[in-house]
């Protein structure tokens, strides 16, 4: 597996593994616990070093799963987790439909809880999952910086933050990575966030790089998703939006076939071509898909191929917002 460098010299595999779908949000095809652990370990065998989880995934269960998977292999892993969504510490219910807490006291408590669940002594990359509009970012990042001083965290990150917030945060303590949704159908970061990252020397970690699995071409009808799957409620998977987005996927599949790769590999290779400090974290529930995705690290696209992709998937091509109204209020703050 090729490697890339995020901010502050954090070296990681060119493609990481997003672990959320192994136990949270995407119920369609979710593996049994033992199979999920085996998938994470297979990713490590294939050279993946960056594993991404969060305390809210489950809640709590995803961190435990990842901790179990890396037991005895800690030295192979750049471990990333996130905090900020306040939830019942018993791990059952989200509070207030996703209340965000970036207060200094919560930062410390959330980190210690994650360390315990993961079974590790430090977190390599600790993200604020969403910006707390009620707490100055300087206060939140100041508390995160104290975790670095305590040896509990090595690098800091933000998720779904605006360029202005990134600049304010970086002035308090160096930020190593920004994590936001970025793919052929979610290109908003190109407007301000990616330029700010380049200017400040911050790496960029796209989550949902395959459009929540849609860009793979696997899903053809809303009925392909289980009744309790998160995507059932996403605007991009509703009615006319679904049909319009499916037409986009078919064009991507045609380009991929012409190149002799899968749609997923084309979409990931496109992301890797955007910047040498971009490190996508595709998730999957199947080992075969994992191996397919990781092969994208060796796909190099020509200028002509990149232009052809731009022709079918320009900025703003996706139909529908990527979250519902409440979710969209929590991004780009």
Give the residue extent of every domain in the chain.
3-213+275-299
Contacts 24+ apart (CB under 8 A), 258-262: 259/299, 259/301, 259/305, 261/296, 261/299, 262/216, 262/217, 262/292
Q: Is a pLDDT exceeding 80 seen at residue 179?
A: yes
pLDDT value at 129 more than 50:
yes
Task: Categorise residue 7: left if φ over 0, alpha if ψ from -120 to 50, beta otherwise.
Answer: beta
The catalytically annotated residue of 57, 106, 126, 182 is: 57
pLDDT recorded at residue 323: 82
pLDDT at 65 over 80: yes
pLDDT surpasses 70 at 90: no
Q: Specify the long-range contacts of residues 273-278, CB closer than 8 Å, at least 24 apart.
A: 273/300, 273/301, 273/306, 274/194, 275/194, 275/198, 275/204, 276/4, 277/4, 277/5, 277/6, 277/7, 277/197, 277/198, 277/202, 277/203, 277/204, 278/4, 278/182, 278/203, 278/204, 278/205, 278/206
**Chain-wide mean pLDDT for the chain?**
92
The mean pLDDT value for 263-283 works out to 97
CB contact at 8 A, 104 and 95 = no
Taking domain 3-213+275-299, whether its CATH number is 3.20.20.100 is answered by: yes
Model pLDDT, residue 89: 58
In the structure, what pLDDT confidence band is assigned to residue 239 with cuts at 50, 70 and 90? Answer: confident
* DSSP code at position 36: H
d(CA 10, CA 32): 32
- 198 versus 326: the higher-pLDDT residue is 198
Q: What's the pLDDT score for residue 188?
A: 94
Is 106 a catalytic site residue? no
In 3D space, the residue among 35, 119, 31 whose CA is nearest the CA of residue 77 turns out to be 119
């Amino acid at each position: 597996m090729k490697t890339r460098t995020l901010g502050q010299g954090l070296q990681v595999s060119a493609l990481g593994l997003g672990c959320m779908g192994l136990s949270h949000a995407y119920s369609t095809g979710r593996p049994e616990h033992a199979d999920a652990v085996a998938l994470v370990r297979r990713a490590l065998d294939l050279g993946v070093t960056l594993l991404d989880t969060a305390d809210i995934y489950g809640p709590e269960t995803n961190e435990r799963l990842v901790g179990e998977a890396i037991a005895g292999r800690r030295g192979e892993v750049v471990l990333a987790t996130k905090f900020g969504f306040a939830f019942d510490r018993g791990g059952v219910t989200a509070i207030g439909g996703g209340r965000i807490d970036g207060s200094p006291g919560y930062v410390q408590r959330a980190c210690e809880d994650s360390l315990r669940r993961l079974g590790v002594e430090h977190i390599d990359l600790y993200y604020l999952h969403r910006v707390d509009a009620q707490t100055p970012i300087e206060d939140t990042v100041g508390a995160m910086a104290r975790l670095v001083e305590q040896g509990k965290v090595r690098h800091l990150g933000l998720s779904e933050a605006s360029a202005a917030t990134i600049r304010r945060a970086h002035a308090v303590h160096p930020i190593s990575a920004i994590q936001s949704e970025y793919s052929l159908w979610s290109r908003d970061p190109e407007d301000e966030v990616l330029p700010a990252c380049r200017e400040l020397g911050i790496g960029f970690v796209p989550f949902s790089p395959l459009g929540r699995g849609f860009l793979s071409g696997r899903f053809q009808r809303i009925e392909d998703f289980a009744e309790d799957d998160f995507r059932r409620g996403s605007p991009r998977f509703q009615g006319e939006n679904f049909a319009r987005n499916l037409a986009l996927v078919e064009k991507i599949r045609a380009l991929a076939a012409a190149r002799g790769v899968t749609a997923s590999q084309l979409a990931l290779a496109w992301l890797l071509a955007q910047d040498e400090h971009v490190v996508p974290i595709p998730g999957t529930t199947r080992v075969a898909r994992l191996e397919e995705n990781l092969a994208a690290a060796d796909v190099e696209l020509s200028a002509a191929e990149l232009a052809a992709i731009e022709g079918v998937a320009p900025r703003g091509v996706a139909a529908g917002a990527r979250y519902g109204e409440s979710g969209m209020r929590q991004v780009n703050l």
